[in-house]
Amino acid sequence: MLLYLENEDLGYQGDIVLHNISLSVSDGERVAFVGKSGAGKSTLLSVLQSRFPNDIALIPQDTGLVRALSLFHNVYMGRLHQNSTFYNLLNLVWPQKPEVEEIGALTTKLGLEGKLFERTGELSGGQQQRTAVCRAIYQGGSAVLGDEPVSAVDNRQAVQILEALNERFDTILLAMHDVDLALRFSDRIIGIQDGKIALDQPATDLQRHDLDFLYIE
Amino acid sequence: MKTRRLYTGFVVALAALAWVAIGNPTAANAQAKEFVFTAIPDQDETQLRKRFNKIADYLSKELGIKVKYIPVKSYAAAVTAFRNGEVHLAWFGGLSGVRARSLVDGSVAIAQGFEDKSFETYFIAHASSGLKPADSFPKEIAGKTFTFGSKGSTSGRLMPEFHIRENLKKAPEEVFSKVGFSGNHSKTIALVQSGAYQVGAVNFKVWEKELKAGKIDESKVQVIWRTPPYPDYQWTIRGDVEKTWQAGFVDRVKNALLNMKDKELLDSFPRSSFIPASNSDYQPIKDVAKEIKLIDD
Amino acid sequence: MSSDVIVETQSKPRYSQAVRTSFWFVIVALVCLLFSDISITTQDPWTELKRMGWGIITPNFLDYRTILEALVQTIAFALVGVALGAGGGFILAQFFHIGIVRWACAFVRAIHEIFWALIFLQMLGLTPLTGLLAIGIPYAGICAKVYAETLEEADLRAEKAVPGGSGLLSTFFYARLPEVWAHIVHYTSYRFECGLRSSAVLGFIGMPTLGFHLESAFGEGNYSDAAALLIAFYILIVTLRFWMRGRLLWLYLLAAPLFLTGGSEIKLTNIVRFLTSDIVPAPLRIGDFSGFVDWIVSMFQTQVLPGVFATVILTQIALVMTAFLALVLFPLISEKFFGQFGRSIGHVFLVIVRSTPEFILAYIFLQLWGPSMLPAIVALSLHNGAIIGHLMGRYSNEILLRPDHGKGLNLYGYEIVPRIYGQFLAFLFYRWEVIMRETAILGILGIATLGFFVDSAIADIRLDRAMFLIFITAILNIGIDIISRKLRARLRINQTVEAV
């Protein structure tokens, strides 16, 4: 069992957003959280993040990039914890060949070729999002947690990103706004509505219209 | 890439500091054998360098050693440099010389200008003040605005303050409506000439020089009183120079100064000649300085 | 109280807290004005002013070698001094949350560079190290404060995405520092301009920088020489952005030490004597404890209390005047008010006003108005007003206006000033300390501020008194630092400003 919540009220600093949540996630599950914006997906995800072991890879909604640093460095940051501080600092001032090659290959795969040493602040929104995905993939580990990781890219790239994530991680927890993609790339769909879990079923049991109720105004 | 710049910068700065701190060892060694002197910056600082570089050449020739002049910016800096052994010889004013000798054991006054036996301070006033030249201390200056020269000057501070206290029995701040320190004698003249201050105290040598140079309009500013004479400028040397150079070195320097006959050199001070001086010649200055609490003990 | 106001009178205008705070500062300054002396007494300043004017239009560049040499020295001292200050400040910023570090920084920056130089002159003599430490130490205190505040306010979102267990240093250098790096570079380059000014001014006490020759030339009334030196300095500042380029900095830093040689040998005995004897109060040196009590009492009666009084009065008036001038001056370089040509003139004007050492400004006004606080107030507020005006002007350029915004005074009053007012107050609160520090160097006006007494004590080689007074000055400065921090917190003003 990777994560287990039972009858918990969740929120920020006493401001409860999600009520009476019970949820468990096992290793190897691929979970998509769906629902209207404002339903509480992000809150749930940030709580899940804080409950997870340290080495989970993250793709925050705001990408969490250091805009002043290059694409290379932002991706490399995924492995700060695996290398010595000295090596990290060396890489900061003098990018090392093995990392440059590995990160170069990875970013090329996600359509960021030729941007390796550009400041991420100068990249487009979609490119920044892919950078954040690259960082998570580069970090690796068994699990990834992403909040709308494909919100700023087109459908083709979204498929590319989700395939890459599926290839890399056993356990995947993603908040998604695109129901089709959620059904296609997840094993399990959790629907959030008005601060509650309104649906929690295997993706294979669901059709697109089964989720429509989550989006009714 | 930019971080690299910061850190390299920092390392370079540290290295530079270390280098400077060690002080370029070869240079320091050379200096140990160099005889260094300074002078209080009483007037005409831009000319000081030229003037004293000539004196350095002269002394170098007379003494047969390397002599260097270093300029300083204040009376206190001259005293400090002398005290710290940065300079071995100095051209001091009366007060700065007394201070320097009390701080350095074994240091002695060796020569003074012929005119320095009986130096004077002129009290000068702007025409609008209504003050007229007089032979006795002009008590009417009370209540006017007044500027000294530099805080550490004998002629621009010590002696005028002494006479003010002596005659009016009060501290200058109580006597005058405003008391300023112009910084040097030329500025004192300029400030009184413009009427910014009504009264000022100035070194008589500087006054005469600027008068000759046509910088003074006597319809605007004039001398209203001359102090009684007092001993002022002198050459003072550290006693420990005989350890570095040989015994009798103090006398050799003294003789070199007394034998200075080149009119151009002497005019630059301006003095007509140098005559022998001793520490005791400056006892009156010391007493006055103690009395008005400019020096302790 | 504020809620009462709302209930009572919805129709009456209410002023924001920032405006009310400003109002109180003006009231305090007006009260101070009652205790200050601002009479005008001069008779005929025009002879001297004509000579100065003539000097300005006939600058004497004949001695160009001296000028060039002095410029190079000025740059070298500024470069290495600021590098030391920035490097030291950067390290200190990491420990700024520790009370003692914060206090120490407030303490060292309370002391004017000139006084630092005078202190090191006692220990190290006329060596380059004296000048470097005189810049480096107070700048470390200033940079530590600003860097710490900048880092504190960094965007933390990136840090949250860093994998757990990445180590403090790695996280800092990857996720924290790069976020604020541009700001730090920007601030440090501003500091460098200040460093050039400090470096030039250190010439007044004997460093071989521009001030050395400027003070001589000015002191003796050689105004053509003085004008040449000043013009050279203005050009140096105006062209700063052309020659101070990122990559060239390397080269400069490597080259600078080559120029910082010479000076006499540093003797340990002088350092030891200064620390163990010179600065010990005179009665204590001979073990006279009752004499020490008298010493303290007399110091307070004759110097500390009158000194603090004059310092505070002058500071508060000059602060408010600075504010007014800054508000008037900033449009001169703002894209919102002037075109390219107008702004260039504005730039040159502000450079001249802020780069002319205060004592020269004070001297000019002393000629005009005679000795009183007035020349001091005007000199201080012009100098500082031009600095804040410069920063505000640049800041105002970043404002985005709607296309149909007003023009002229409407634009000024409705769009620009309200938007930059918080920043403006922040600049002023930072500058507050500086103005107080600068009241020190106006002895020519006969205003007995704390700095005046420090200067007197050093002139008398009474270093015990000097250090005691410096200590009091530092405490006063820390007090102002605390007040300004509280005010900024209350007004919720952006802390990380580039002006100190």
Q: Which domain-ending residue is among B226, B258, B273?
A: B226
The residue among B63 and A195 whose pLDDT is bigger is B63
For residue B249, the model assigns a pLDDT of: 92
Task: Look at residue C497 and tell me whether its pLDDT is greater than 50.
Answer: no
Structural domain contains residue B254 = yes
Structural domain contains residue B15 = no
Q: What range does the domain containing B144 cover?
A: 120-226
Closest residue to C367, CB basis, from B74, B147, B194: B194
Structural domain contains residue B10 = no
Chain C residues in contact with A52 by the CB 8 A cut-off are none
Distance CA C30, CA C23 (A): 11
**pLDDT tens digits, residue range A34-90?**
988 777 888 888 888 877 766 788 898 888 888 888 899 999 988 888 888 889 888
Structural domain contains residue B126 = yes
Chain C residues in contact with B43 by the CB 8 A cut-off are 220
Structural domain contains residue C223 = yes
Tell me the average pLDDT across C355-363. 84
Structural domain contains residue B22 = no
For residue C496, the model assigns a pLDDT of: 43
Computed over every residue of chain C, the mean pLDDT equals 86
Tell me the average pLDDT across C301-315. 92
* Residue C373 belongs to domain with CATH number: 1.10.3720.10
Beta-carbon separation of A60 and C162 below 8 A:
no
Winning range, highest mean pLDDT, from B44-53, B179-188, B218-227, C115-124: B218-227
- Tell whether B112 and B246 lie within a shared domain: yes
Q: Which domain-ending residue is among B192, B226, B260?
A: B226
- Tell whether B214 and B277 lie within a shared domain: no
Task: Look at residue A10 and tell me whether its pLDDT is greater than 70.
Answer: yes
- Tell whether C29 and C92 lie within a shared domain: no
Task: Look at residue B48 and tell me whether its pLDDT is greater than 80.
Answer: no
Tell me the average pLDDT across B51-70. 91
For B88, the 3-state DSSP assignment is coil
CA distance B11 to chain C (A): 9
- Tell whether B125 and B202 lie within a shared domain: yes
In contact, B96 and B152? CB cutoff 8 Å: yes
Structural domain contains residue C3 = no
Q: Using CA coordinates, name the residue in chain C closest to A147.
A: C161
Residue of C174, C265, C268 for testing the chain B interface, max B β-carbons within 10 Å: C265
Structural domain contains residue B201 = yes
Query: Model confidence at C430, in pLDDT bands (50, 70, 90)?
Result: confident
For residue C152, the model assigns a pLDDT of: 83
- B28 inside 8 A of chain C by CB: yes
- Tell whether C73 and C202 lie within a shared domain: yes
Question: Helix H segments across C411-462?
Answer: 417-438, 450-459
Task: Look at residue A216 and tell me whether its pLDDT is greater than 80.
Answer: no
Structural domain contains residue C1 = no
* Residue B41 belongs to domain with CATH number: 3.40.190.10
β-strand partners of A30: A172
Task: Look at residue A204 and tell me whether its pLDDT is greater than 60.
Answer: yes
Chain C residues in contact with B147 by the CB 8 A cut-off are 371, 446
For residue C494, the model assigns a pLDDT of: 53
Question: Helix H segments across A77-147?
Answer: 85-93, 97-109, 125-139
- Tell whether B199 and B222 lie within a shared domain: yes
The residue among C46 and C392 whose pLDDT is bigger is C392
Tell me the average pLDDT across A98-127. 90
Least confident of B40-54, B160-174, C173-187, C229-243: B40-54
Structural domain contains residue C55 = no
In contact, A17 and A43? CB cutoff 8 Å: yes
- Tell whether C138 and C215 lie within a shared domain: yes
**pLDDT tens digits, residue range B223-272?**
999 999 999 999 999 989 988 888 889 999 999 999 998 888 888 777 88
How many structural domains are present in chain B?
Answer: 2
Burial, C403: exposed, middle or buried (Cβ in 10 Å; 0-12, 13-18, 19+)? exposed
- Tell whether B125 and B113 lie within a shared domain: no
Closest residue to B13, CB basis, from C181, C253, C266: C253
- Tell whether B36 and B68 lie within a shared domain: yes
Neighbour count for residue C345 (Cβ, 10 Å):
12
Residue of C36, C39, C44, C118 for testing the chain B interface, max B β-carbons within 10 Å: C44
- Tell whether C35 and C86 lie within a shared domain: no
Task: Look at residue A176 and tell me whether its pLDDT is greater than 70.
Answer: yes
Least confident of A3-17, A156-170, B204-218, C361-375: A3-17
- Tell whether C246 and C351 lie within a shared domain: no
CA-CA-CA-CA torsion sign (C331, C336, C338, C344): positive
Structural domain contains residue C25 = yes
Single out the residue of A90, A43, A68, A56 nearest to residue A168, CA to CA.
Answer: A56
- Tell whether B186 and B215 lie within a shared domain: yes
CA distance A148 to chain C (A): 15
- Tell whether C323 and C440 lie within a shared domain: yes
Structural domain contains residue C308 = yes
CA distance A6 to chain C (A): 25
Structural domain contains residue B17 = no
Distance CA A161, CA C91 (A): 41
Tell me the average pLDDT across C219-238. 90
CA distance A209 to chain C (A): 35
Q: Which chains, if any, share at least 3 CB pairs under 8 A with chain A?
A: B, C
Q: What percent of chain A has pLDDT over 70?
A: 97
The amino acid occupying position A35 is: G
Give the DSSP H or E segment for C136.
helix C128-152
The residue among C349 and C492 whose pLDDT is bigger is C349
Beta-carbon separation of C166 and A64 below 8 A:
no
CA distance A140 to chain B (A): 27
Inter-chain CB pairs, B–C, below 8 Å? 206
**pLDDT tens digits, residue range C260-279?**
877 677 888 888 888 888 88
Domains of chain A: 26-56+142-217 (3.40.50.300), 65-140 (no CATH)
The residue among C209 and B24 whose pLDDT is bigger is C209
For residue B1, the model assigns a pLDDT of: 42
Beta-carbon separation of C162 and A55 below 8 A:
no
pTM equals 0.82
- Tell whether C99 and C38 lie within a shared domain: no
Chain B residues in contact with A71 by the CB 8 A cut-off are none
Structural domain contains residue C237 = yes
Task: Look at residue B202 and tell me whether its pLDDT is greater than 70.
Answer: yes
CA distance C165 to chain A (A): 5
Closest residue to A64, CB basis, from C161, C178, C182: C161
- Tell whether B108 and B247 lie within a shared domain: yes
- Tell whether C78 and C214 lie within a shared domain: yes
For residue C371, the model assigns a pLDDT of: 80
- Tell whether B107 and B181 lie within a shared domain: no
- Tell whether C120 and C266 lie within a shared domain: yes
**pLDDT tens digits, residue range C360-390?**
888 788 878 878 889 899 999 999 999 999 9
Structural domain contains residue B135 = yes
- Tell whether C183 and C244 lie within a shared domain: yes
- B4 inside 8 A of chain A by CB: yes
Q: Which chains, if any, share at least 3 CB pairs under 8 A with chain C?
A: A, B
For residue B108, the model assigns a pLDDT of: 95
Q: Using CA coordinates, name the residue in chain A closest to C181.
A: A68
Beta-carbon separation of C83 and B9 below 8 A:
yes
**pLDDT tens digits, residue range C315-349?**
999 999 999 999 999 999 998 888 889 999 999 99
Task: Look at residue B121 and tell me whether its pLDDT is greater than 60.
Answer: yes
For residue C499, the model assigns a pLDDT of: 36
Chain C residues in contact with A89 by the CB 8 A cut-off are 169-170, 173
**pLDDT tens digits, residue range C464-473?**
999 999 899 8
- Tell whether C328 and C380 lie within a shared domain: yes
Computed over every residue of chain B, the mean pLDDT equals 86
> Cα–Cα distances in Å, from C315 out to C32, C337, C449?
9, 31, 10
Beta-carbon separation of A80 and C181 below 8 A:
no
The DSSP result for C468-480, as a single string, is HHHHHHHHHHHHH
For residue B297, the model assigns a pLDDT of: 65
The DSSP result for C218-255, as a single string, is HHTT-HHHHHHHHHHHHHHHHTHHHH--HHHHHHHHHH
- Tell whether B206 and B130 lie within a shared domain: yes
How many structural domains are present in chain C?
Answer: 2
Closest residue to C446, CB basis, from B17, B32, B178: B178
Task: Look at residue B30 and tell me whether its pLDDT is greater than 50.
Answer: no
Residue of A80, A94, A129 for testing the chain C interface, max C β-carbons within 10 Å: A80
- Tell whether C253 and C362 lie within a shared domain: no
Q: What is the DSSP letter of C462?
A: -
Tell me the average pLDDT across C297-319. 93
Which tokens go with C279? 């600065």
Beta-carbon separation of C178 and A68 below 8 A:
yes
**pLDDT tens digits, residue range B3-23?**
455 556 555 655 555 555 444
Query: Model confidence at C6, in pLDDT bands (50, 70, 90)?
Result: very low
Q: What range does the domain containing C127 cover?
A: 62-278
Task: Look at residue A1 and tell me whether its pLDDT is greater than 70.
Answer: no
For chain B, the helix, strand and coil percentages under 3-state DSSP, each to the nearest 5: 50, 20, 35
Structural domain contains residue C274 = yes
- B3 inside 8 A of chain A by CB: yes
For residue C106, the model assigns a pLDDT of: 87
Least confident of A122-126, C143-147, C169-173, C364-368: C364-368
Residue of B38, B79, B84 for testing the chain C interface, max C β-carbons within 10 Å: B84
Tell me the average pLDDT across C25-31. 94
Inter-chain CB pairs, A–C, below 8 Å? 78
Q: Which domain-ending residue is among B226, B260, B279?
A: B226
Which tokens go with A52? 């997870």
